[in-house]
Amino acid sequence: MDLLNPYYLQIITFMLINAILGISVYLTLAAGQLSLGNAGFMGIGAYTAALLTLKLGWPLYVVIPLGGAAAVLVALLIGLPTLRLQGIYLAIATLGFGEVMRVIFLNLEITNGALGLSGIPALSVMIGRQLSQMGFSRVAGLSLQQAGMLAVLILLAFLLVLLVVFALLLRNSRVGRAMAAIKADETAAEITGINITYYKLLAFLLGAFVAAVAGGLAAHLTYYIGPKDFAYHRAVEILIFAVLGGSDVVWGPLIGAFIVTMLPEVLRFAAEYREMIYGVILVSMMAFRPQGLIGEETIRFWQAKWGRRAAG
């Protein structure tokens, strides 16, 4: 298998985008919030970044953070009333928010309605064009298309590493411990003096920002975005990252994202049953292994095993 084949490079690219979305759902779940709104925030980031690029010609390093900021603003507006809810009620409310955003994308003239936005400059093409203008026809034996896509992979991998480090630092910080206490027992956490609203809102905003960043990047990788890209099935898919991989540790949603990204390729023969397969996976994991594939006990097991091996 030629991993430098553009087809495989594209699969790995979307695997990294989904891993970033996995971090976003991990951050939201860090305070025990079952949110299905990350697809909506992803859409806000995608449309904001794409419109600023198409209409104003602003560079990617400007439009991506602005897309994240727009999502944070919307999350702030809906967060205060909805975060009073818990469990399935919060999930339903945030799923409703995602559907509202989809309808807005569908009906606004600036978003081009159901036709969506096309002609979004692809990051890999921009890099390849820049290399061509510099006089390169090939780079280290790679075509300019391959070199551009490989550069995008390196950029996404670097961003993912930064987000993983941030999530790990957050988990071990005072803020992370407060969020963990809320997730374990909200009433007990409030009795100990933890500001429940502040930490739940902070987790919600962090998840919204990261989801929007993923959306902005995805928009500049696919040439096109439309309202259906951020519909309820996308919200469920993002949640599956955490349900399948596990939400107790940072690595869980990443593993879940990698598996879910590969499933369409493995199950290409059953493409019409993809949604049903996702549903079976979701129900099965919640019934038989609610902690996901990777939980706290998994990490402790491997830490103990590596510790014994290091000790000889």
Q: Up-side HSE of residue 131: CA atoms within 13 Å toward CB?
A: 21
Range 43-52 average pLDDT: 96
CA 96 to chain centre: 19
**Is residue 120 within 8 Å of 220, Cβ to Cβ?**
yes
Domain ranges of the chain: 6-229
Res. 149: pLDDT tops 90: no
Res. 2: pLDDT tops 60: no
As a residue count, the chain comes to 312
Contacts for 105 with CB less than 8 Å, ≥ 6 apart: 43, 47, 111, 226, 227, 230
Single-letter amino acid code for the residue at 100: V
Q: Which residue has the tokens 């596990």?
A: 246
Over its C-alpha atoms, the chain yields an Rg (Å, rounded) of: 20
Res. 29: pLDDT tops 50: yes
Res. 212: pLDDT tops 60: yes
**Is residue 256 within 8 Å of 240, Cβ to Cβ?**
yes
DSSP 143: E
Helix-helix angle 196-222:144-171, to 10 degrees: 170
Q: How confident is the model at residue 145 (pLDDT cuts 50, 70, 90)?
A: low
Q: How confident is the model at residue 311 (pLDDT cuts 50, 70, 90)?
A: very low
Q: How confident is the model at residue 60 (pLDDT cuts 50, 70, 90)?
A: confident
**What proportion of the chain, given as a percentage, has pLDDT over 90?**
42
Model confidence over 94-139: pLDDT tens digits? 999 999 999 999 999 999 998 999 988 877 666 666 666 565 556 6
Most distant pair of Cα atoms in the chain: their distance: 67
Range 19-47 average pLDDT: 93
Q: 259-272 as b/e, with b when 16 or more CB fall inside 10 Å?
A: bbbebeeeeeeeee
pTM for this model (two decimals): 0.88
Structure-model confidence comparison of residues 61 and 134, the more confident one: 61
Report how far residue 65's alpha carbon sits from residue 140's, in angstroms, rounded to the nearest whole number: 32
Tokens at 165, concatenated: 């480090």
Res. 1: pLDDT tops 50: no
Range 207-233 average pLDDT: 92
Range 188-215 average pLDDT: 93
Range 71-100 average pLDDT: 89
Range 194-218 average pLDDT: 94
**DSSP track, 173-206:** SHHHHHHHHHHH-HHHHHHTT--HHHHHHHHHHH
